Amino acid sequence: MPPSDLPDDAARVLSADKAAVSRALNLVEDRRPEAQTAVTELLAALKDAPKAAGGHRVGLTGPPGVGKSTLTSALARSVRRGGRTVGVVAIDPSSIRSGGSLLGDRARMSFDPSDAGLFVRSLATAGEVGGLAYAANSAVRVLAAAYDMVVIETTGVGQSEIDIMHVADTVVLVVQPGSGDVLQFLKAGIMEIPDILVVNKADQDELAQRAVADLRGALQTARAVGATGGRDAGWEPPIVATSATKGTGIDELIAALDGHRKHLEATLATRRRQGEVQWALDLFTRKHGEHGLSTLGGAAQLQARAERDLDDGETPLSLCEHLSREYVAALGKTP
């Protein structure tokens, strides 16, 4: 592939030219320091894309094997039928030993290969401390500039449930009937309330209804004992039963997604910005701990700094890297 010609490519991304979108994704995945300027320029050029502002970034998370990929596939097909275009980022874990990965989510999705309005990119976590891939945030920004809806499928393990909040407008937690997963999550306190809960594999009506009822009960209990924080007091997370294989419940899921997107309308810009700030700081803290934070002036100061820098075109990744360098330099000075 020839090296990309930036302004031209950005324009083509906006028109959802697949080759250009693919090149742009390759670029944001590029970890070479010399690529960073180009990444920053590209993302800046895509920042005010009409699709990005009006679009919807949906994060799907949940334990391995609950059907996230199958559901992504069913969801994307339905959304396409409704006329909107869809970009998908599917994230799988990298092997710690080899650095390689088997990107298996795509195998569970079936799409018309000639559909210009649908794009799927698999990303490996590439050893990030969190559950999201290194370039996930930037990849989402690229796809958001090209497609109406962006769906992010996480690995569902490790930190990805938290990370996904930083890149998605709407977080959907997927569970299966009778698995008790939700209760586990809530008890462990590692998860704030997702915006939407999906009980997938609800292939039979009866089973589905029971599962939804169980889940509702569990949520209420959890709330009563204060086990859930909830990042949005004004939103009652709906519970939707789906069968990704049979295609049932998908329309309800789309309605729930649209409902949440509408609910966010006024606060969306802040939410997205907040997510990025948070992600940059989380990445940095995971690498360098509290000591890192305090060395660079403490959480509050870094927060303000992050907001400023992100406004100036930094990405969470590049910001984190800058902060790391500063921290290392600071360490060098203090004996």
* Nearest distance in Å: CB 19, ligand GTP: 27
What is the rounded (10 degree) CA torsion for 199, 204, 210, 212? Answer: 20
Among 7, 15, 19, 65, binds ligand GTP (CB under 6 A): 65
Is 305 one of the binding residues for ligand GTP (CB under 6 A)?
no
Among ligand GTP, another protein, Mg ion, none, residue 66 binds (CB under 5-8 Å by kind): ligand GTP
DSSP string, 193-245: PPSEEEE----SHHHHHHHHHHHHHHHHHHHHTT----S-TT----EEE-BTT
Is 313 one of the binding residues for another protein (CB under 8 A)?
no
Among 244, 256, 264, 306, binds ligand GTP (CB under 6 A): 244
Binding mask 61-100 toward another protein (x if CB under 8 A, else -) reads ----x--------------------------x-xx-xxxx
Q: Which neighbouring-strand residues pair with 174?
A: 198
Binding mask 201-240 toward another protein (x if CB under 8 A, else -) reads ----------------------------------------
Task: Compute the distance between CA of residue 22 and CA of residue 297 in angstroms, rounded to an integer.
Answer: 39
Is 200 one of the binding residues for ligand GTP (CB under 6 A)?
yes
Is 161 one of the binding residues for ligand GTP (CB under 6 A)?
no
* Nearest distance in Å: CB 230, another protein: 33
Is 77 one of the binding residues for ligand GTP (CB under 6 A)?
no
Among 40, 179, 245, 274, binds ligand GTP (CB under 6 A): 245
Task: Compute the distance between CA of residue 128 and CA of residue 96 in angstroms, rounded to an integer.
Answer: 10
* Residue 174 vs 257, nearer CB to Mg ion: 174
How far from chain centre, in Å, is Cα 310?
Answer: 18
Task: Compute the distance between CA of residue 150 and CA of residue 85 in angstroms, rounded to an integer.
Answer: 9
User: Which distant-in-sequence residues (6+ apart) come within 8 Å of 275 by Cβ?
Assistant: 165, 166, 167, 168
Task: Compute the distance between CA of residue 103 and CA of residue 221 in angstroms, rounded to an integer.
Answer: 37
Integer-rounded Cα radius of gyration of the chain: 20
* Nearest distance in Å: CB 317, Mg ion: 24
At 30, the amino acid letter reads D
Size of the site for another protein (CB under 8 A): 41
E strand or H helix at 87, and its extent? strand 86-92
The binding site for ligand GTP (CB under 6 A) comprises: 64-70, 105, 108, 156, 200-201, 203, 243-245
